Amino acid sequence: GENVEQHPSTLSVQEGDSAVIKCTYSDSASNYFPWYKQELGKRPQLIIDIRSNVGEKKDQRIAVTLNKTAKHFSLHITETQPEDSAVYFCAASLGTSYDKVIFGPGTSLSVIP
Amino acid sequence: DSGVTQTPKHLITATGQRVTLRCSPRSGDLSVYWYQQSLDQGLQFLIQYYNGEERAKGNILERFSAQQFPDLHSELNLSSLELGDSALYFCASSPRGSGAHYNEQFFGPGTRLTVL
């Protein structure tokens, strides 16, 4: 079946440093790639997404890049802050069923003050 | 607040019992998804409904079932509960192919199920 892999599973960075999380997907027809952030005990919330017709998207300290040829996409967080500490999930749409996404296993990010 | 509501917030029950979790999607959203999140686990997709019909199935056990009603709210039924069913169950909703919210899933606050 279709699959989304995500690395690393845990990541610790010093406050102010950058953090990068990488994902790969298997369905070459995927065209939508959202990233969700889940703080401890709370619901996942969309933080940024990218569609297959663009290669990069930026929103303040967060950016996402997409390489459709290699079937991988990455989340970049710059100038990390303690409030960035959370679990981050990448996801990829399931081919033509564009309203279903497959989630990666998550990355637990810790930002050390 | 995402606009998705789930009840109850917490549920404690015993093994062998049956429970029903309820989800009301955002106004206008036609798709409802159910996910299971066990301790330190990712989001395991269970099932999706679109406008009352089952659209996709994930790793949903036979002991679990769901439905979406004409008013678009959804219920997830868990029966013959086992200790391993203890988890956070999320419902999410999404619109269908409309502008900036294309594909985005809006998650509810979750129902924490504890099976003793």
Reported as a single tens digit per residue, the pLDDT across B7-66 is: 999 999 999 999 999 999 999 888 899 999 987 678 888 999 988 999 888 889 999 999
The pLDDT value given to residue A99: 62
pLDDT at B102: 58
Name the residue facing A105 among B42, B96, B109 (closest C-beta): B42
Q: For residue A97, is pLDDT > 80?
A: no
| pLDDT over 50 at B99, yes or no | no
| CA proximity to B32, closest of B85, B83, B77, B90 | B90
Q: Of B6, B10, B105, which to mutate for an interface test with A (greatest number of A Cβ within 10 Å)?
A: B105
Per-residue model confidence (pLDDT) at position B59: 82
State the pLDDT at residue A29.
85
Q: Which of A45, A93, A103 sits opposite B42 (nearest CB)?
A: A103
Q: Which residues of A touch B (CB under 8 A)?
A: 32, 34, 36, 42-46, 49, 51, 89, 93-94, 97-106
Q: Report chain A residues whose CB lies below 8 A from the CB of B31.
A: 99
Q: Is the pLDDT of residue A89 over 70?
A: yes
Q: How far is A44 from chain B (nearest CA, A)?
A: 6
Cα(A21)–Cα(A5) distance, integer angstroms: 11
3-class secondary-structure state, position A37: strand
Q: Is 80 exceeded by the pLDDT of residue A100?
A: no
Contact across the interface for B107 and A43, Cβ inside 8 Å: yes
Closest CA to B4 of B110, B104, B80: B110
Question: A52-56, A95-99, B93-97: which has the minimum mean pLDDT?
Answer: A95-99
Radius of gyration of chain B from Cα atoms? 14
Among the residue ranges A32-36, A53-57, B1-5, B38-42, the one predicted with the least confidence is: B38-42
User: Up-side HSE of residue B111: CA atoms within 13 Å toward CB?
Assistant: 26
Which residues in chain B have their CB less than 8 angstroms from residue A103's CB? 42-43, 45
B20 min Cα distance to partner chain A (Å): 20
Q: What is the torsional sign of CA A50, A30, B57, B96?
A: positive
**Does the distance separating the beta carbons of A49 and B103 come in below 8 Å?**
yes
CA distance B42 to chain A (A): 5
8-state DSSP, B99: G
